[in-house]
Amino acid sequence: MSNVMVAFLFSLGASAWIYTKMMKSNGGQTKSALTVAGVVAFILFLFLLTVLDKLTN
């Protein structure tokens, strides 16, 4: 599996987990939960993609 796919699936799963935690903690404010989950998913994607690239090359 390519590094991009692994990083994408990891960030997708992490963002789903963060979204559910945010929805529970902020009383159901969907907009803020989606914003936080999206930003964290993007950061995790870039971080994991960088780490995997360094490990495989």
What are the residue ranges spanned by the domains of the chain?
3-56
- Looking at every residue in the chain, the average pLDDT score rounds to 94
**What average pLDDT score do residues 7-21 get?**
96
Question: Residue 6: which pLDDT band, with cuts at 50, 70 and 90?
Answer: very high
pLDDT value of position 27: 84
pLDDT value of position 57: 81
CA distance 45 to 18: 14
CA distance 24 to 52: 32
Q: What is the tens place of the pLDDT at every residue in 24-48?
A: 998 888 999 999 999 999 999 999 9
